[in-house]
Structure formats: structure tokens, C-alpha cells
């Protein structure tokens, strides 16, 4: 193993099973924060963050963009993956190698050696933004995990079970934390509580979350 991330298995990050098949890798992205944030800036320069509208007609408080072969979008007609950015009409920016490598390395760590993401949804939370309890089910094959990378301000993440009314647990996700959501947890309800104000040395008054998916 001689790739950039090969040493990640040597320096095993602290791992914690949050739920069946959900593995938290604390600080897993910290060695790569610089290159990841630089790549994120490049993506946002060609596909700017925007607050999308839900099918129900509400504007999301979280601003989003995407990279990869497909990007998650929502508007009055529904939720879906699209190869093109609806704002520019052009394909989403390519997924940077450092993104794919980070996601694959974490997935391997979490027990998914075959995971190859084709989509990365990038969420930007400013103070006051939140994401209400939902399931991620717009992807074609739920045997693939989702890998999430948190950067910047901390946020309280909320996750329940397979049913909306299942009891929820809360956990604070910090800069550099990575979670692999596979197995039963893949379809668990989850959300992010209202982001508190703060200042982060790398991201300022914001939290970014990257979710790597196999959408197609
Ligand atoms: C559990 N994002 O983009 S990341 C989302 O922090 C989303 O921006 C949140 O929920 C965020 O859909 C949560 C953690 C996460 C991501 C995907 C999951 C948890 C998940 C998919 C299934 C189960
Ligand atoms: Fe989600």
C-alpha cells in the first residue's frame, strides 16, 4: 500500500460504532484538511453554493453544491441526482482525487473496501442553518455506504432508526471527523441541529459537510 492514504491503516484513527454499521472515525480527515479545503474552494468557484428549494416550496437553510458525475438537487419538481448543475447548465466539477481517496480510505476502514463514490454533495452551514430529520434514499443501491466528512464549526448531529418516530441520539461532529454509514444505518433518519455561531480557524463562521455517495 503506497498511496497517499496508505498510512491511515498504520495510524488507526479512533473508531466508534455509533449504530449498526455506522463507524465514526474521529479526526480522520485532519491530515488532509489543507488540500481538501483548497479543492473545496475550487469547486465553489465553478459551482457556487446555493440554497435550493424543496418540493414543498421552502428554501433550505443549508447552502449546497456538488462535485462528481452526479449532483444532488432539489426544486419544486422533486429530489434527484443530475449530471449538470442547474444554475450553469454545465456538468458538476469533477471529483478531486483527494476527495475520492479520502472517502475510499475511510470506507475501507469502515469495512467497505469496494466503495467508489461517483457523487459528492457539499453542504455549507452558516449560523442558524439546520437540516431536519430525513433519510437519504435518492441513490440507486443502498448496499453502498455514505461517507460523511465534517469540516469547520462543530455541529450536533442527530440520528434515529429506520422509522421516523424511533428515538434519536445526539453526537457532536467536529472538524476532521468522518462517519461511514453502511449496513442497517444506511437508511436511518438523521439531521443537524441549528448551527451555533462561532469562528473556526480554517473555515470562519461556517461548517462544511461532504457526503460521498454512489448515486448511479
Ligand atoms: C446517516 N448531511 O447531506 S452528515 C445529507 O452534516 C446530510 O450535512 C448532514 O444528512 C450534514 O444528507 C449529515 C452524516 C450523514 C450523512 C448521510 C447519512 C449521516 C447519514 C446517510 C444515512 C444515514
Ligand atoms: Fe442525509
| pLDDT tens digits, 163-207 | 999 999 999 999 999 999 999 999 999 999 999 999 999 999 999
The domain defined by 2-6+18-213 folds into: Jelly Rolls (2.60.120)
Instruction: Kindly list the protein residues whose Cβ atom lies closer than 6 A to any atom of ligand 1.
Output: 121, 123, 131, 136, 146, 148, 157, 179, 181, 185-186, 188, 190, 192, 209, 211
Ligand 1 atom 3: residue of nearest CA: 211
Ligand 1 atom 5: residue of nearest CA: 211
Q: Mean pLDDT in the chain?
A: 95
pLDDT at 137 over 70: yes
Question: What Cα–Cα distance (Å) separates residue 16 from each residue in 100, 144, 149, 171?
Answer: 22, 20, 15, 12
Give the predicted TM-score (pTM) of the model.
Answer: 0.94
Going from the Cα of 211 to the center of ligand 1, the distance in angstroms, rounded, reads 7
List 172's β-bridge partners, or say none: 156
Cα separation, 50 vs 52, whole angstroms: 6
| pLDDT tens digits, 170-179 | 999 999 999 9
CB within 5 A of ion ligand 2: which residues?
A: 136
Pocket test for ligand 1, best of 63, 65, 146, 187 (most atoms within 8 A of CB): 146
CB atoms closer than 10 angstroms to residue 114: 10
Residue closest to 117 by CA, chosen among 133, 137, 98, 89? 98
Instruction: Report, as an integer, the average pLDDT of 32-55.
Output: 98
Which ligand places an atom closest to the C-alpha of 123? 1
Instruction: Report, as an integer, the average pLDDT of 34-50.
Output: 98
Cα separation, 155 vs 174, whole angstroms: 7
Ligand 1 atom 17: residue of nearest CA: 146
Instruction: Report, as an integer, the average pLDDT of 49-66.
Output: 98
Provide the pLDDT for residue 2.
45
Cite the beta strand spans of the chain per DSSP E.
15-19, 22-25, 63-68, 71-75, 78-82, 119-125, 131-134, 146-152, 155-159, 169-173, 178-181, 190-192, 207-213
- What share of the chain has pLDDT > 90, as a percent? 94
Amino acid at each position: 500500500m503506497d498511496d497517499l492514504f496508505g498510512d491511515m491503516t498504520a495510524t488507526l484513527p479512533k473508531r466508534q460504532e455509533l449504530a449498526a454499521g455506522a463507524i465514526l472515525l474521529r479526526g480522520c480527515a485532519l491530515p488532509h484538511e489543507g488540500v481538501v479545503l483548497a479543492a473545496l474552494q475550487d469547486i465553489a468557484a465553478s459551482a457556487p453554493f446555493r440554497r435550493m428549494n424543496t418540493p414543498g416550496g421552502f428554501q433550505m437553510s443549508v447552502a449546497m453544491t456538488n462535485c462528481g458525475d452526479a449532483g444532488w438537487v432539489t426544486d419544486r419538481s422533486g429530489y434527484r441526482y443530475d449530471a449538470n448543475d442547474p444554475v450553469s447548465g454545465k456538468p458538476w466539477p469533477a471529483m478531486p482525487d483527494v476527495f475520492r481517496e479520502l472517502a475510499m480510505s475511510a470506507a475501507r476502514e469502515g469495512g467497505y473496501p469496494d466503495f467508489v463514490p461517483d457523487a459528492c454533495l457539499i453542504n455549507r452551514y452558516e449560523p442558524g442553518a439546520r437540516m431536519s430529520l430525513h433519510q437519504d434514499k435518492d441513490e440507486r443501491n443502498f448496499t453502498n455506504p455514505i461517507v460523511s466528512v465534517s469540516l469547520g464549526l462543530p455541529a450536533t448531529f442527530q440520528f434515529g432508526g429506520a422509522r421516523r418516530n424511533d428515538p434519536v441520539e445526539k453526537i457532536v461532529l467536529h472538524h476532521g471527523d468522518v462517519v461511514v454509514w453502511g449496513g442497517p444505518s444506511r437508511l436511518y433518519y438523521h439531521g443537524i441541529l441549528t448551527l451555533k455561531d462561532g469562528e473556526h480557524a480554517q473555515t470562519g463562521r461556517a461548517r462544511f459537510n461532504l457526503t460521498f455517495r454512489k448515486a448511479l
